[in-house]
Amino acid sequence: MCVSGVLSLRHFLLRTPISIWGHLVDYSVLMAQANELSLRGLGKTSPNPIVGAIIVDSSGAVISQDFHDGGLHAEAKAISKIGEIPKGATLITTLEPCNHHGKTPPCSELIINSGIKTVVFAVSDQNLVAKGGADRLRAAHIEVISGVLQDQVSYSNRFWLNKIKNNRPYFIWKVGMTLDGKISAKDGNSKWITSESSRAQVSKLRSQSDVILIGTGTALADNPSLNTKEVNAKQPKRLVMGNRLIPQESNLNDESAQTFFLQTHDLDVLLDFLAKLEVNQVLVEAGPTLGTFLMKSGVIDEMHIYLSPSLLGSGQSFINDLGINSLENRVMYKVQSAEIVDTDLKIILVKDQ
């Protein structure tokens, strides 16, 4: 390989930015870093997307980075950290810079005024109100490179992208169960089927969620708080769906987080209510009644299964009859990932489109 001399094998294997004829190429490593930054905003940005941004100088060295956490946009935060943008600086951002006046001025305008000469992004803005940033940047003679790690970044931002596409939040159903699909023993006891490490992961997942949804059956049987134990985390809103009344002394009525009681079994009423809350993602921690209802309604986009290597043989199953009589009509998911968590097997399943 020879371009203005021999490029080091190490640079090639790591795919780090390399200066060739004064230009930086292959931004995949930096985009991966920006994507990791963006994940810090999960649960904090609704109704807006998560975004990570990195600024590098002409040699490829990182000089500023930040992420969107509900206030200023990631690009604006990263730019504001630098007194003067150096010549030849490049902005790497996970989402196309916005092009509209909302709570903040357009990021495209800020970038143009900053002196940045190259902008690299992964995913085009799907919001009809905010899109167009790339075209505005090009019109200002700024080089724009798009589509870097698009699939990876789209998955990280799937909650917001789904909401834009389907006009409803993204639903994740979390289930902890035995090998034979039981979530509690015959005597009703469910504490604890899964390991402490698995429960710690669920606590983190709660901190990344906008709303935790359960049914009145779970509320009455378990008296959960549905809070995250993550340090300095924002507590997600709690939503209880169903017609039974919840006692005033329930943990769900404490002041640790907002709780809403939706007395209905109607999906449209639920979706309308969630639209008013302007949420991107809902974590379902319900039992089989509400879980089965949501599954049959087709809104369970993803499942997080914590599978304990144990058997009960009897007890409560995690799901009820779906009314399916043949393999041809089964609900299909694909395995996104699988990992061992202490004694358990964690499987993330996403809806097979």
Residues assigned a catalytic role? 75
- Cα(339)–Cα(306) distance, rounded to whole angstroms? 10
**Cβ pair 52, 67 in contact under 8 A:** yes
Nearest-CA neighbor of 202 among 177, 239, 184, 185?
177
SS3 258: coil
Nearest-CA neighbor of 213 among 139, 109, 287, 118?
287
CA-CA-CA-CA dihedral for 314, 351, 36, 109, to nearest 10 = -140
Q: How far is CA 175 from CA 182, 211, 254, 283, 319, in A?
A: 10, 16, 25, 11, 10
Q: Which two tokens stand for residue 110?
A: 């800020």
Residue 45 CB contacts under 8 Å (≥ 6 apart), including other chains? 51, 68, 69, 70, 160, 280
